[in-house]
Amino acid sequence: MLYAILSGFLLAILVLFFGKQVKGKLAAGLTLLPLGLFTYFLFLLPETANGNALLFSYQWIPSMGINLDFKADGLSLLFCLLISGIGALVFFYASYYLKGHRYLDRFYSYLCIFMAAMLGLALSDNVILLFVFWELTSISSFFLIGFNNDDPASRKSSIMALAVTGGGGFLLMAGFILLGGISGTYSIREMLVSSAALKEHANYGWILFFLFAGAFTKSAQFPFHFWLPGAMKAPTPVSAYLHSATMVKAGIYLLARFTPVLGGHPYWNYTLLIAGGITMLYSAFHSTLRTDLKGILAYSTIAALGMLVFLLGAGSEQAMMAVAVFILVHALYKAALFLTAGILDHETGTRDVTQLSGLRKVMKPVALTGLLAALSSAGIPLTFGFVGKDLIYEATLHDSLGILLTAAAVLTNILLLYAGFLAGIKPFSGELPEAFKNVHLPDMRLWVPPLLLAILGVVYGILPSLTDASLMQPVVQSLSPGAVTAPLKVWHGVNPVLLLSGLTLAGGIGLYYYRRPAHSRLQSIRRYDPFSPETLVLKGAGRFDDFSHWYTNKLHSGNLRSYVYIIVIFMSGLLAYKIATGVNLYLDLSNVSRISIYDATIFCIIIVAIWKTISTSSRITAVACMSVVGYCICLLFVIYSAPDLAMTQFTIDTLTVILFVLVLFRLPRFLRINDRKVVLRDGIVSAVFGALISVIALEVMNEPTNKETSRYYAENAYLMAKGKNVVNVMLVDFRGFDTLVEITVLIIAALGVYSLLKLRVSAIEKE
């Protein structure tokens, strides 16, 4: 399974090396990888259909509980089949849609990375691993959305998408760490054991907040939905793949995966019901105002995602079955509609539904695709959408809030029916405009992929049993272990669900015939733009940008003294907080040795030298006084039987003094530019910091001595490293990498200083 995921990353690298061939005939051949992966996952279906989950584990960081753990169950296999199956059709479609594009190789490389990341996300059984793939999907989608990087709108949309989903990902990471800390494991299947403890924990609310933040931003839930319509600046294959079938459903997958772990609590259920309900109603309404095909499909996609969140909030066994079926239903008809919109744009040069009509006369297979996809989205009998819609109503009717939830679902489906007809039927009905007389049926690589998806929507509608036992039931078992649901059927008799389906069809079809699309409706709601989530977020980003400028100017002035001053104040605050909240201050004088005349004399010399250092106006005198302080510390080391430390201190202090003196000769004359207020401020800060360090140093004396580490080094220095000097062995062998890094840092600093000095000398020579 690991190799199935890595194959996408490997192909992404190979594509870059064979870019010239990819831009030629090899482009369509890249379809073989997702097609092969689709076949591989199909062969896993019998195992999951028998109720077994396939587990694969590879060590990564076992000491931290982070491993490459993968789990293939009903839920993950459903997503893997969508990712690889629709991915194969999109790969094939893009080979003609972007034919001749100068960055076609780059496009396929991004697409391979995204596909591999989505597969890894769907199969991960470790939350840290899941987060890695989660972020990879955000990064790769950023490049795909901004693929047309010459267009400022594409760049803006990609940055917006990355900012929103990346911000949610940051919070999701916090949630995963919190989950792991409470449950004691990062494995999702092991978290099931701690489900009750997690729900009763005091931080359960925070876990939900972080988890919902990641899921809602990724799956475009209100008020984070606005990035998805903007992402329609991406090429149509990207929109069909990322924004209907895969990436935007990553948040749905996350919520579904953690439903057995965290679901069943009022906080979980009501939050999802409210968020999903608002999203689906708001977006379904907005989809009826749009006239751009991709805009219509974008908002109807958000509404469908809201419907899935809404059903996950309902939480019943019927709702879980509705979620499983609707994920597949939506992926099939929405990907087909997106690809159809791409064909229309490619051949006519426009996506405006007020201008498109009559194209069935010149694009019969494409018109058939649009019709079948629209019928499935509407839930017409004998389509898979009809089965999905009935399951939605079945779930809402049996809920405790049945009337309210059912009314919201019916209204949403009426509006989505209208939007689906606008995108799939309107461009092909009516008279063919004169401007489109020369439009012709495109290459089969464009219309075959969406037609296959649309036909599947009908086949599964006529024979829902094809997906029931093999795919849908295992998904339900993943979401609700032990659930017992009725098998999928086309006909359940005359009942309230059938009446609601009829009401939906009558309302949606009536709305389609009596309400023509018009640009004026969209313009009429522009006056509310100042209150839209996108505008508010952009204003907030502007305020944050202003704060960043202020912060940078205040704290990053380029003055070394300011940097030291800020660091010391920050450290003083942290130390003071720790001392005030976590340290029980007391001093056991029995542990303090007697102060001898030598100690007192050296201490007095140090005090005098420090005072002279801060009061003198001569740099040389200040350096000399600082050296006195260093040599006095050397004497203290000697008195307390630490000659090795004394020699080290003596050597370092001597070298430091010499370097200071050499540097000071190159500096200009000493200038006293600080007034009394600045001097007083610096004195207070220094005194506070010194007092805090002194308190901590005294407090250390009260801590019990633990010689386990030193004993280990002493016992093993010669046995393991063949060295008799324990300190040297520690630096060179036991902590060799630390020493190597320290030396590397010093070398980099030395090179930087040398470069600056050389630059200064060169500048003087030129003058």
Q: What is the DSSP string of 120-154?
A: HHHHB-BHHHHHHHHHHHHHHHHHHHT-STTSHHH
Residue 573 clears pLDDT 70, i.e. is over it: yes
Place 60 in a pLDDT band, splitting at 50, 70 and 90: confident
Q: What are phi and psi of 646, to 5 degrees?
A: -65, -45
pLDDT digit string (tens) for 311-342? 999 988 899 999 999 999 999 999 999 999 99
* Gap between the Cα atoms of 23 and 100, Å rounded: 7
Which residue, 341, 330, 209, 228, is CA-closest to 282? 228
pLDDT digit string (tens) for 250-300? 999 999 999 999 988 999 999 999 999 999 999 999 999 888 899 999 999
In this predicted structure, what is the pLDDT of residue 257?
93
Helix (H) or strand (E) holding 59: strand 54-61
Helix (H) or strand (E) holding 55: strand 54-61
Question: Is the distance from CB of 362 to CB of 117 less than 8 angstroms?
Answer: no
In this predicted structure, what is the pLDDT of residue 715?
81
To the nearest 10°, report the CA torsion of 37, 43, 48, 49: 130
| Partner residues linked to 70 by β-bridges | 56, 124
User: At residue 553, what is the residue type?
Assistant: N
Q: Is 386 exposed, middle or buried (0-12, 13-18, 19+ CB in 10 A)?
A: buried
* Gap between the Cα atoms of 304 and 351, Å rounded: 22
Q: Is 224 exposed, middle or buried (0-12, 13-18, 19+ CB in 10 A)?
A: buried
In this predicted structure, what is the pLDDT of residue 668?
65
pLDDT digit string (tens) for 552-563? 887 777 777 778
pLDDT digit string (tens) for 529-570? 787 888 888 888 889 888 988 888 877 777 777 788 888 888
> Could you count the other beta carbons within 10 Å of the beta carbon of residue 598?
12
End-to-end CA distance of the chain: 66
> In this predicted structure, which of 146-150, 408-412, 616-620, 671-675 has the lowest mean pLDDT?
671-675
Residue 98 clears pLDDT 90, i.e. is over it: no
Report how many helices (DSSP H) and strands (DSSP E) the chain contains, helices first.
34, 2
Question: Is the distance from CB of 18 to CB of 26 less than 8 angstroms?
Answer: yes
* Gap between the Cα atoms of 4 and 116, Å rounded: 8
pLDDT digit string (tens) for 732-750? 787 777 778 888 888 888 8
Question: Is the distance from CB of 117 to CB of 111 less than 8 angstroms?
Answer: no
What is the average per-residue pLDDT within 376-397? 91
Which residue, 406, 71, 61, 450, is CA-closest to 239? 450
In this predicted structure, what is the pLDDT of residue 674?
61
pLDDT digit string (tens) for 647-694? 888 888 888 888 878 777 666 666 565 667 777 888 888 888 888 888
The proportion of the chain whose per-residue pLDDT surpasses 90, expressed as a percent, equals 36
Where on the phi/psi map is residue 493: left (φ > 0), alpha (ψ -120 to 50), or beta? left
In this predicted structure, what is the pLDDT of residue 212?
95
Query: What pTM did the predictor assign?
Result: 0.80
